[in-house]
Homo-oligomer: A and B are copies of this chain.
Amino acid sequence: MRQLHRALRRLRHIAASSSSDYSSGRPILPPKSILFVKKRNDKIVAEALTYVLSHLQKVYPTTKLYHSTMTDPPDGLEHWSPQSVTPIDLVVTLGGDGTILRASSLFRRGRIPPVLSFSMGSLGFLLPFHIDSFPKVLARIFAGEATTMERMRLGCTFLDAEEQRTDGWQVMNEVTLHRGRSAHLNRIDAYVDGTHLTEAVSDGLIVATPTGSTAYSLSSGGPIVHPSVRTILLTPICPRSLSFRPLLLPGTSEIQLRVHKDSRAPAEVSMDGQEARTLHPGESVKIRVSRWPVPCVARWSPSASSRVTVPPQDLALPVTDGEDEWVRDINTLLQFNAAFRNKALLRHAQL
In the assembled complex, A130 has its CB within 8 A of some CB on chain B: yes
Of the listed stretches A45-53, A57-65, A220-228, name the one at the interface; the rest are far from the partner chain.
A220-228
In the assembled complex, A209 has its CB within 8 A of some CB on chain B: no
Residue among A273, A330, A342 facing the most chain B CB atoms (10 A cut-off): A342
CB closest chain-B residue, reference A185 = B219
Contact B130 A348 (CB under 8 A): yes
Within 8 Å CB of A203, what residues of B?
A: 203, 219, 237
Contact B224 A221 (CB under 8 A): no
Shortest distance in angstroms between A62's beta carbon and chain B's nearest beta carbon?
A: 21
CB closest chain-B residue, reference A180 = B181
Shortest distance in angstroms between A276's beta carbon and chain B's nearest beta carbon?
A: 10
Contact A344 B180 (CB under 8 A): no
Number of residues from A at the complex interface, CB < 8 A: 118
Contact A345 B238 (CB under 8 A): no
| Of the residues B20, B181, B210, B220, contact of A268 by C-beta under 8 Å | B181
In the assembled complex, A166 has its CB within 8 A of some CB on chain B: no
Q: Which residues of A contact B (CB under 8 A)?
A: 1, 4-5, 7-8, 11-12, 14-15, 18-20, 96, 119, 121-124, 128-130, 132-133, 136-137, 140-141, 145-146, 180-181, 183-184, 192-193, 195-203, 210, 213, 216, 218-226, 228-231, 233, 236-253, 268, 270, 273-275, 297, 299-302, 316, 318, 320, 323-324, 327-328, 330-351
